[in-house]
Each structure stands twice: as C-alpha cells, then as structure tokens.
Amino acid sequence: MDVFATNFKTVDWVIVSIYICIPLVIGIIVRKYVRQLSDFIVAGRSLRLFIAIATLTGTELGLVTVMYNSELGFKHGFSAFHIGIIETVCILAIGITGFIVYKLRQLRVMTIPEFYEMRFGRNVRIIGGILLSLGGILNMGLFLQAGARFMMGVTGYSNPAGLKLFMSVMLIMVLIYTVLGGMVSVVLNDFLQFVVLSIGMLVGSYFAIQKIGWSNLFTAPETVSSASWFNPVAEGSGFGMIYVLFMVVLTFSAGALWQSGTLRALSAKTPKVAKQLYAWSSVSYLARRVIPMLWGICAFVFVSQSPKLLSAFQGPDALNSQFGMPIFIAKVLPSGFLGLIAAGMFAAFMSTHDSYLLSWSSVITQDIIAPLKKGHLSDKQRLLITRISIVTIGLFLLIWGLWFEAPVSLWNYMAVTGTIYLAGAFTVVAAGLYWKKASKTGATLALFAGLLAILGIGPWTQGENIPFYLSDKFIGLMTFVIAILGMIVGSLLFPDKGTQQEVTQ
Amino acid sequence: MNWVLLWKIVLLFTLFGYFFLVCIVTFGGIGNIIEMLKDLSAPSEEP
C-alpha cells in the first residue's frame, strides 16, 4: 500500500476552496457590529451560555490540537487518555468553584496583563506582557508545521518541498484573514467550526472504529508492550508519575488562564455564565483530547497491519509520527466527507491563528509598547504597531517551523512553551486575587521563574535513557514549583508599602 | 486496575456525551447568536 495514497479527489478540493471563503464573508458582514474596543476584543461582553460553549470549544479545538493529540494516541496508545481525564476534571473544578475566572470577569479586565497592572503596577504589566508574548509566540511556533503536515497527509502530497509550500500558502492566507478579524466575527466563525468539526469528528470516529473493529481497537499491536499501551504509569509508556503531576498543574492553570480560553470567559454576559461555561465545556475538553487520540490509536493499529506502512514510520528516515493520523484518515474516509473534514480543519487552523496572532500582537502593543510610552500612542500608531507585529510573528512562525523539530512530541513542546507563561501567570493571578500579602517583588520573581521552562525544549530532553531531571516533564513541573516559591518568598521578604489594593477585597 | 475497561467506558462516555452536547449547543447557540446581534445593535451603555 502506498504510504501517501488518498481518497482526496477534485470534489474535496472544491469543498475546501468554498468552505474557507465562509469566514471571510462572515468577517465582512459583521464588521458593522463592531463599534468600540470592547466589541472588538470581548464581543461587547454579550456571550450567552450556548454560544460561549461553542466558541470556547471552537477555539480550543484547532487543527494543531487534533494533530498533537492524535500524535499522542499514535505513539502512546490509550495511556494518553489520562491527559483528557485530568484536563476534564480540572475544567469541571474551575466551573464548579469559579476559581480565578469568576473574579476576573467581575473585574471586567480584557487581558491578563491588564490585571497585573491593576494589582501590582505598570512594571509588572510590562514584564508579564513580554513573557506572555514570548511564551505565546514560541507556543504557536509549530502550528504552521503541524497544519502543513496534516494537509500533506490528507491530500497525499508527498513532494519533499511540500512542507515549505503548504506552510507558505497557509501563512499568507492566515495573515490576510487576520486583518479582517475582531471578536464578533471570531465568535460566529467559531460556532461554525464547532458544528462542522464536531459532526466531522463524530462521524469520522465511526469510520475509524468500523475500519479497525471494536475488539481489535482494544488489543495492543504486537510491536508495542500491552502494559504501556494502556497504563500511563507503566514503564515504557513515555509518561509516569512526574508527567501526570505536570499535567495536573498545567491543565488546571491553562484552563483558568490560557489567553484565548480565558478571553471567552471574560466575554461572557455575567460572571455566573463564565462559571457555567467551564462546567459545560468540560465534556468538550474531554472530546478534544479523546477523539483525536482515538484516531491516532486507530492509525497506529492500521499502520501495524501493513509491513510497508509500518516500515515508513521506523528507522533513521522514518516519517514524523504526526503524519500517522492524516495518512490514516486519507485512506479510510470517503471522498467528499474527507474534503469536509479537511475544510473544517483548515478553517479551524485559520481561526486559531487569527485568535492567537491578534492576542499576541495586541499584548505587544497594549501591554509592552504602550505602557513603555506611558500611553502616548495614537490609535493610528497602535494599529500600525499591531499590524507590524502580526507580520513579524508570521515570518517567525515560518522560519521556526521550517527549522525546529519538537524534541519529544508536539504536545510536550506545547506544554513546555505554555509553561513559560502559565507558571508565572497562574501564580501571579491566583496570588493577586486570593492572597493579600502578594507583592510586586513576588510577582516579578514568579514571572521570571517561568523562563526556566525554556530549558524543557533543549536537545538534552531528547532520547530514551536521559536522567529524569533533564526530562521536559520534570523541568516543566519544577518551573511551576519555583514560580510559586518565588511569589511566596518575594512577597514575604519584600512586602508592598502602603495600603492593600482593592482588587483582593 | 482494569485499564481496558476504564478506557472503554471513557471512550463511550466521550462519544455519546459529546454527541448530546453538540445537539444542545447547536440549537441553543443559534438562539444565542440572534440575541447577541440584537445586543450589539442596541445603543451602547459604555462611553
């Protein structure tokens, strides 16, 4: 069987072409509803429960999400499901308690660094803004690469220049689309993504399970150990207890404070809706993990049944494991439906990029450059800086995606780079909201501690027999611990002078 | 611990739970969009 054989036909190209025009049309139609900054960034804080669930799911279910989760399923089997369980419990806990999100929505802030200034002053906002944009931009560094690999696998385009070609075309489309953005159009597009992708994922799962067979699905392939295929703490699973602990702190902090997700909570009509949003969305957080992982598992079982396919993923010239799922669905899904899935994924890719590019470029303008200029920037200058930032970030993504390979897996790369921002942000916001003694010095130390996570994407994290203290999971977990210690020690040794800020009351 | 049984339950719960969520959110979301656009068309409360 040819590795890149596909059911993707002309009709699928037509479906993709038509579908990706829809977000552009929506963007143009709804521009009349955007009259002020809060309309643009938080949709006028007008989101009710169901549309908020759809838009949160639409944002958190991008093409890169499907790629990194399917890669985890392809490489680690059912043992990867534990990440979905942990994340679901964390999101549900945030929904039930309202931890962080309820208070942030009450404060009516629009970005996380805005809270830093409200609670700890301008300098903390600038430092937080720099680290947020650094972590955020590095975090999306491999989005283009993963997206291009998906499109290559699905369309069967195996030319070695394909990665560069798809990355370049996708980047240009994203940059054009982003210029038309704004939260109202993003919300409507997210709703469309939610409906199309959700139906596609459920129907796609039916085809995948039907191809492999229900009983075969739960039998570990001969090439892997049965224990590590199912048990996340078994030796050889690639996870272990340190990883599980890292996932608990990471998914809890990301659930509460990942910029794109939190923005939806801040857009909710009331603080109560923000809480309900998280409780209901716990199911979709489970689905965004488990369903792509299922596809990855089916892909590996499918590949294991064909010596030619299996050999393509082994040896020194092995295909990247991210190709496993797209190559599988390209052979299993019927033409027409495959086009719909590819179109939905591509639109989700554009929508995610749009949100992230806007988020990070806005942080550079609003939370770094504007405070440095002490607010002496006209709207025209702000817009120009934002646009320059978007294009600069886009070029960085292209170069980084062509040059850099995730040392362990795409998800581990995302987790560690996300920690650069999350370790500091989670500590600073949680302490800022719930601990009256939290001080500027503590906040600054916690934010800088997040930089330690960069060590987690170094080449020393690669390989099977590395000592645990050099592994990305240990570095990630320790970054959180050091950030929390930095906040506690810094606040106790160097308390803020004067009266306590009103924010914590 | 029977991991296979656990993952079977998790998989079935996810597929059926998500199916119901998608149905509820799709129909509820259409109503919400209409209300949101009405809100945004109304005169603004913020300066």
Contact criterion met (CB < 8 Å) for A195 and B22: yes
A36, A48, A194 member nearest B46 (Cβ): A36
Position A451 in a domain: no
Contacts of A262 (CB under 8 A, 6+ apart): A101, A104, A112, A256
A1 is a domain residue: no
Q: Is residue A52 part of a domain?
A: yes
Q: Which residues of B have a CB under 8 Å from any CB of A?
A: 1, 3-4, 7-8, 10-11, 13-15, 17-19, 21-22, 24-26, 28-29, 31-33, 35-37, 39-41, 44, 46
Whether the complex's predicted ipTM surpasses the cut of 0.95: no
Whichever domain contains A216, its CATH number is 1.20.1730.10
For residues A28 and A179, the answer to whether their CB atoms sit within 8 Å is no
Using CA atoms, how far apart are residues A121 and A116, in angstroms rounded to an integer? Answer: 7
Q: Which domain holds residue A165?
A: 10-407
C-alpha distances out from residue A316 to A46, A312, A319, Å: 53, 10, 9
CA–CA gap between residue A12 and residue A494 (Å, rounded): 62
Name which of B18, B22, B40 is nearest A39 (Cβ-Cβ).
B40
Residue A266 lies in a domain: yes
pTM of the predicted model as reported, rounded to 2 decimal places: 0.87
Name the average pLDDT for chain A: 85
* A260-299 residue pLDDT tens: 778 777 777 788 888 888 888 888 899 999 999 999 999 9
How many C-beta atoms lie closer than 10 Å to residue A458's C-beta?
A: 13
The verdict on A94 touching B (C-beta cutoff 8 Å) is no
For chain A, what is the domain count? 1
**Confidence (pLDDT) at B46:** 45
Q: What is the pLDDT of residues A183-216, one digit of tens each?
A: 556 667 778 878 888 888 999 999 999 999 998 9
CB contact under 8 A, A195 and B41: no
CB A297 within 8 A of CB A268: no
For B3-47, write each residue's pLDDT tens digit: 999 999 999 999 999 999 899 888 888 887 787 777 766 665 444
Which residues are CB-neighbours of A384 under 8 A, at least 6 positions away? none
Q: How far is A310 from chain B (nearest CA, A)?
A: 24
> Which residue from B32, B39, B40 is facing A50, i.e. has the nearest CB?
B32
**Assigned domain for A361 exists:** yes
What is the residue whose two structure tokens read 């200058």?
A381
Is pLDDT at A47 greater than 70 in this prediction? Answer: no
Residue pair A109/A273 in contact (Cβ under 8 Å)? The answer is no
pLDDT of residue A394: 86
State the pLDDT confidence band at A245, using cuts at 50, 70 and 90: very high
Q: Are A170 and A145 in contact (CB under 8 A)?
A: no
Chain B residues in contact with A188 (beta carbon < 8 A): 33
Q: Is residue A5 part of a domain?
A: no
Q: Per the domain annotation, does A146 fall within a domain?
A: yes
Q: Considering the domain boundaries, does residue A217 fall inside one?
A: yes
Chain A: give the shortest CA distance to residue B33, in Å. Answer: 7
